[in-house]
Amino acid sequence: MREKAFGPEHPLTATSLNNLAILLKHQGDLAAARPLLERALAMREKALGPEHPDTAQSLPSPSCLGPCTH
């Protein structure tokens, strides 16, 4: 819904994609999560810059490169 309301490059759209990717990772669907995380990161880097704190939220956590257990 955010993509429709704000557009495909908006930071809030990136937040929704990132949240969905986290859910998918926790459910063990890393194949589905990865493209969403990559898209969210690219969107945030473009809109906010690579040094912005919100961009850092889309960076992969070293503890979650494999299946998340938390």
Indicate whether 69 pLDDT > 50: no
Measured between alpha carbons, how far is residue 23 from residues 6, 7, 16, 33, 49 in Å? Answer: 22, 22, 11, 8, 25
pLDDT tens, position by position, 9-51: 888 898 899 899 999 999 999 999 999 989 988 998 998 888 8
Please check whether residue 26 is in contact with residue 32, taking contact to mean a CB–CB distance below 8 angstroms.
no
- Alpha helix (H) residue ranges in 1-70: 2-6, 11-26, 30-48, 53-56
Q: Which residue has the higher pLDDT, 3 or 45?
A: 45
pTM of the predicted model as reported, rounded to 2 decimal places: 0.74
